C-alpha cells in the first residue's frame, strides 16, 4: 500500500517484526504495549493544587499505579501552583503554567523523589492549559488568563531538554480546562469552556500546525481529565456530570465519545494518571465538597471505579502525570 493512501493514526500488525505499529503521516512507529518497571510498577505524580483547608500549595505526591494505597510525599514544586497542566515522558514529569497568569514550566525526575527544577516558560501565561505528550514532546493546549480571556494556543517543548516553549499551532476553538491525552502519534483534547465545548480536537504530535476536528463529547462540559492506553482515551467526570460518568474514544479513528463507566466519587478538576492498563483519578472538586479520594479502573474494560486510597489532603485544581501513559 502506498504511504500517501494510509490515514494518519492507522494501526497495523507488522508480520516481520511481530509488533503493532501506528502511522504518523510519514512513517510507521512501533506501539509500546508494556508499562515501565519502576519499583514494582509505573508511578503517578500529582502536582500542586488548591487544598481545603490551606489554599494553593506546591506539594508533589506520588503513587505506584499497579498497587493500591495512599499517596506519598515526593517534594515541592518551584512555586505554589493550581489550575496547572501536566505531561510526562518515561523519565520526566512537567507542570505547565498555573493560576495568576503563570507561564512557568517545571519538571521532576519521576523515578526519584525531590523538589522540582525550572524548565522554562510557555509563550503565554495562563491557567487551565492542559498537557499531553509522547516520549519526545509535551504540548500544552488552551487556557485562560485571570481577566477571563480564553486562548486557542498550543505550545510545545522537547521533554529531554530544557528551555522555553515554541508555538505549535491553534486549537479549533478558544477553550480552557479541556481534557488532554495521547497515543505515541496522536494527541487529543476533549471538551472545555467557554463557547463550543463539546468538540474533540486532535493533532499529530510529531508535526506542527492547527488541530483538526475529531468528533463530539457527550455534553458541553469542562474541567474533566483523561488517561490513555496506546489505543483508547478515557475521560472522567466534568463540571456538568454529577453522576461521574466516564466516556471514551478510540484514538486512531475519529467520531463521537461513547459511554464507558462511572467514577467512584463524582467530581471535576482532579488529577489523572495511568500505566496504560489502569487509569487513576485523584482528588477533585464536587462543590462545595472537596476530595482526597483516589479511585481506579481498567482502561480496556470499563465499568465502575474501585477505591485505590487517599491523597495527602483534600485537593482540587490539581494535575497528574505518569511515566507509563499510552503516549510512550
Domains by residue range for the chain, with CATH? 1-31 (no CATH), 44-322 (2.120.10.80)
R_g of the chain, CA atoms, integer Å: 18
pLDDT band per the 50, 70, 90 thresholds, residue 206: very high
Q: Is 4 helix (H, G, I), strand (E, B) or coil?
A: helix
The region of weakest confidence among 3-12, 133-142, 150-159 is: 3-12
Contact 228, 273 (CB under 8 A): no
Q: Is 101 helix (H, G, I), strand (E, B) or coil?
A: coil
First to last CA, the chain: 27
DSSP string, 244-306: -EEEEEETTS----EEEEE-SS--BS-EEEE-SSEEEEEEEEETTEEEEEEEEEETTT-EE-E
Could you read off the pLDDT of 170-182 as tens digits, one per residue? 999 999 999 999 9
According to DSSP, the residues that pair with 294 across neighbouring strands are 282, 309
Compute the mean pLDDT over every residue in the chain, rounded to the nearest whole number.
91
pLDDT band per the 50, 70, 90 thresholds, residue 11: confident
Residues 6+ apart with CB under 8 A from 149: none
Contact 65, 41 (CB under 8 A): yes
Helix (H) or strand (E) holding 49: strand 43-51
Distance CA 140, CA 83 (A): 13
Distance CA 295, CA 95 (A): 22
Residue 260 — left, alpha, or beta (φ > 0 → left; ψ -120 to 50 → alpha)?
alpha
Q: And the C-alpha cell for 132?
A: 499531553
DSSP string, 131-171: EEE-SSEEEEE--B-TTS-B--EEEEEETTS-S--EEEEE-
Average pLDDT over residues 95-110: 96
The verdict on pTM exceeding 0.95 is no
Could you give the angle at the alpha carbon of 33 between the alpha carbons of 29 and 39, nearest 5°? Answer: 125
pLDDT band per the 50, 70, 90 thresholds, residue 6: confident
C-alpha dist (Å) from residue 295 to 244, 273, 278? 12, 11, 10
Distance CA 217, CA 219 (A): 6
Scan for cell 496506546, then name that residue: 230
Question: Which pLDDT score, from 0 to 100, does residue 38 have?
Answer: 47
Residues 6+ apart with CB under 8 A from 16: none
Distance CA 146, CA 247 (A): 30
Helix (H) or strand (E) holding 58: strand 55-64
Q: Is 242 helix (H, G, I), strand (E, B) or coil?
A: coil
Could you give the angle at the alpha carbon of 326 between the alpha carbons of 321 and 328, nearest 5°? Answer: 85
Distance CA 28, CA 8 (A): 10
Question: Which pLDDT score, from 0 to 100, does residue 37 have?
Answer: 43
pLDDT band per the 50, 70, 90 thresholds, residue 221: confident
| Beta-carbon-side half-sphere exposure of residue 4 (alpha carbons within 13 Å) | 0
Scan for cell 467520531, then name that residue: 255
Q: And the C-alpha cell for 46?
A: 500529582
Average pLDDT over residues 310-320: 98
Q: And the C-alpha cell for 1?
A: 500500500
Amino acid at each position: 500500500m502506498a504511504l500517501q493512501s494510509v490515514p494518519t493514526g492507522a494501526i497495523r500488525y507488522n508480520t516481520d517484526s511481530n509488533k503493532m505499529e501506528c502511522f504518523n503521516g510519514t512513517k510507521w512507529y512501533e506501539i509500546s504495549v508494556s508499562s515501565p518497571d519502576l519499583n514494582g510498577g509505573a508511578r503517578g505524580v500529582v502536582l500542586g493544587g488548591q487544598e481545603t483547608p490551606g489554599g494553593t500549595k506546591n506539594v508533589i505526591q506520588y503513587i505506584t499505579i499497579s498497587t493500591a494505597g495512599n499517596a506519598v510525599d515526593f517534594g515541592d514544586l518551584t512555586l505554589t501552583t493550581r489550575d496547572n497542566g501536566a505531561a510526562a515522558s518515561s523519565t520526566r514529569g512537567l507542570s505547565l503554567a498555573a493560576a495568576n497568569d503563570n507561564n512557568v514550566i517545571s519538571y521532576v525526575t519521576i523515578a526519584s523523589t525531590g523538589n522540582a527544577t525550572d524548565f522554562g516558560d510557555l509563550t503565554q501565561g495562563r491557567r487551565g492549559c492542559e498537557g499531553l505528550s509522547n516520549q519526545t514532546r509535551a504540548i500544552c493546549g488552551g487556557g485562560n488568563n485571570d481577566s477571563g480571556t480564553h486562548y486557542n494556543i498550543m505550545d510545545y517543548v522537547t521533554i529531554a531538554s530544557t528551555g522555553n516553549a515554541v508555538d505549535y499551532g491553534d486549537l479549533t476553538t478558544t477553550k480552557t480546562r479541556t481534557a488532554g491525552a495521547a497515543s505515541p502519534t496522536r494527541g487529543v483534547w476533549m471538551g472545555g469552556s467557554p463557547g463550543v465545548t463539546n468538540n474533540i480536537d486532535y493533532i499529530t504530535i510529531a508535526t506542527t500546525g492547527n488541530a483538526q476536528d475529531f468528533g463530539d463529547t457527550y455534553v458541553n462540559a469542562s474541567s474533566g481529565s483523561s488517561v490513555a492506553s496506546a489505543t483508547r482515551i478515557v475521560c472522567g467526570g466534568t463540571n456538568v456530570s454529577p453522576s461521574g460518568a466516564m466516556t471514551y474514544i478510540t484514538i486512531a479513528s475519529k467520531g463521537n465519545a461513547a459511554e464507558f463507566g462511572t467514577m467512584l466519587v463524582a467530581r471535576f478538576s482532579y488529577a489523572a494518571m495511568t500505566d496504560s492498563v489502569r487509569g487513576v483519578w485523584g482528588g477533585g472538586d464536587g462543590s462545595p465538597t472537596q476530595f482526597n479520594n483516589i479511585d481506579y479502573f481498567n482502561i480496556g474494560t470499563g465499568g465502575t471505579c474501585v477505591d485505590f486510597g487517599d491523597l495527602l489532603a483534600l485537593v482540587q485544581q490539581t494535575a497528574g502525570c505518569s511515566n507509563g501513559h499510552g503516549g510512550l
